[in-house]
Amino acid sequence: MTEAEADSRRAEGGLRRVIGRKVLMLFVVGDILGAGIYALVGEVAGEVGGAVWIPFLVAFVLAALTATAYAELVGKYPRAAGAALYTNKAFGIPFVTFIVAFAVMMSGITSASTAARAFGGKYLAEFVSLPTLVGALIFLALVTLVNFAGISESLKVNVVLTLIEVFGLLVIIVIGLFALIAGDGEPSRAVQFHPANGAFLGVLGGTALAFYALLGFEDSVNLAEEAKSPARDFPVALFGGLGIAVVIYVAVAFTATMLVDTETLRTSTGPLLEVVKVAGLSFPPKLFALIALLAVGNTALINMIMASRLVYGMARERIVPSAFGLVHPTRATPWVAILFTVAIAVVLVSTGEVGALADTTVLLLLCVFALVNVCVLVLRREPVEHEHFRAPTWMPVLGAVSCLVLVLPITGREGAVYLRAAILIAVGVVLWLVNRLTMATKAEPG
């Protein structure tokens, strides 16, 4: 895009195409790693025993299948809105489009709210004593300011935080290598397989948990309208980011179970901090807690960027009121969408139900992924003129099937999670009806 075209786009109220391939890949890596790996190792260990790396590896394969669908679709339709846009183009049913967009938006906001609660809790208490809610709200305010400052500024902060959180995980890996060389720990424990509910159900339950840690690759498609060359860069960024993340995950999981017994990992709210404390290679636990705080912060920032851009994209598609598509004249950021998403996050953080909503959002996202895999096949009847990545047909087919399997109760998911999902969908239905009534009222002659 020439400078004249970019100026014209800004004049029309559009977003700036400023994101290159390397920054986009860092965005994917940062969004995937975030808070998940710092907290989920112990829970996965409770499902399979010492061989924690197996569910992470299986989850990577399943996530990669769905990533092929996203890579093809973002190349065909390089615009914000992601899954909602694809659903709208594939089926043209406004109600379904809205519910999909609502589920994805809530996943980002709920994830950010979860991160905010984590930030304001035990990690922050290592440095300053504040009520969890106060710390969480201050944190959300800071994230909002960075998001409002602009996409370039937000992604620069993301790059720094991504490097810090990756450094923290590399510290764990180096600790593991040092332990192997020194003969410390029990490497055999990392290959012990003691699933709580049998081999198949144990791996399935562990994979469902590990899949949550790999969520984030789908968020980057909502930046398609701000990428310099989405058709060329997104496949590389998606698959490269997923590949980097799973290598780190497997190495961290192996190290954790090699140095810390499974029961300690399972019951700890900071499993990687347990690794640092028992390591033969000295590393200040307080410094690692700071790194974990920044990792949690990065998760929130990325998810709030995604959620606000998704609302903006929906407004441009006229799925929600056009006011959400307003762009700030100097910062070129969707300021109304940012305020709307942070308002929801404040409510979630204040109610204290973030953990329950996070579990429900995982269920909803799996449903969305299944639908996206179907969309990529349906939309092949509408070819585009420009070149783009094309997924082998069997990959989105298998991706849809695997997502639906992970939705089933056989994963060990509690019935309350399905009830919460139904309630959340009901809230979406109410919002849809309100929006329809509002548009109908405006259409009536004065």
Q: Which pLDDT tens digit goes with each residue over 170-185?
A: 999 999 888 888 877 7
Is residue 3 predicted with pLDDT exceeding 50? no
Is residue 9 predicted with pLDDT exceeding 50? no
Is residue 337 predicted with pLDDT exceeding 80? yes
The pair of structure tokens assigned to 172 is 């764990």
> pLDDT tier at 404 (50, 70, 90 boundaries)?
very high
The reported pLDDT for the residue numbered 69 is 93
Summarize pLDDT for 25-43 with one digit per residue, the tens: 877 887 787 777 777 787 7
The average pLDDT across 409-427 equals: 78
The average pLDDT across 108-117 equals: 80
Is residue 190 predicted with pLDDT exceeding 90? no
The reported pLDDT for the residue numbered 101 is 81
How many degrees, rounded to 5, is the angle at CA 42 between CA 41 and CA 48?
90
The reported pLDDT for the residue numbered 5 is 43
Q: Output the CA–CA distances (angstroms, integers) from residue 32 to 26, 75, 378, 425, in the order listed.
A: 10, 21, 28, 25
How many degrees, rounded to 5, is the angle at CA 345 between CA 312 and CA 245?
80
The reported pLDDT for the residue numbered 151 is 67
Range in 11-25, 112-126, 200-214 the model is least confident about: 11-25
DSSP 331: T
What is the three-state SS of 162-194?
HHHHHHHHHHHHHHHHHHHHHCCCCHHHHHCCC
The average pLDDT across 142-146 equals: 85
More reliable by pLDDT, 186 or 392: 392
Could you tell me the end-to-end alpha-carbon distance of the chain, in angstroms, rounded to an integer?
A: 44
Is residue 446 predicted with pLDDT exceeding 80? no
The reported pLDDT for the residue numbered 197 is 65
> pLDDT tier at 7 (50, 70, 90 boundaries)?
very low
Domains, the chain, ordered by start: 15-440 (1.20.1740.10)
Summarize pLDDT for 340-361 with one digit per residue, the tens: 888 888 887 887 654 566 667 6
The reported pLDDT for the residue numbered 371 is 95
Residues with Cβ within 8 Å of residue 258, at least 6 apart in sequence: 176, 179, 180, 185, 186, 187, 189, 190
The reported pLDDT for the residue numbered 64 is 92
Q: Tell me, what amino acid is at 117?
A: R
> pLDDT tier at 1 (50, 70, 90 boundaries)?
very low
Task: Report how far residue 338's alpha carbon sits from residue 154's, in angstroms, rounded to the nearest whole number.
Answer: 13
Model-wide pTM > 0.85: no
Nearest to 293 by CA among 39, 28, 109: 39
The average pLDDT across 210-223 equals: 77
Summarize pLDDT for 255-312 with one digit per residue, the tens: 888 888 888 887 776 778 888 888 777 788 788 888 888 887 877 877 888 788 877 8
| Average predicted confidence (pLDDT) for the chain | 79
The average pLDDT across 138-154 equals: 80
The reported pLDDT for the residue numbered 426 is 80
Contact 292, 274 (CB under 8 A): no
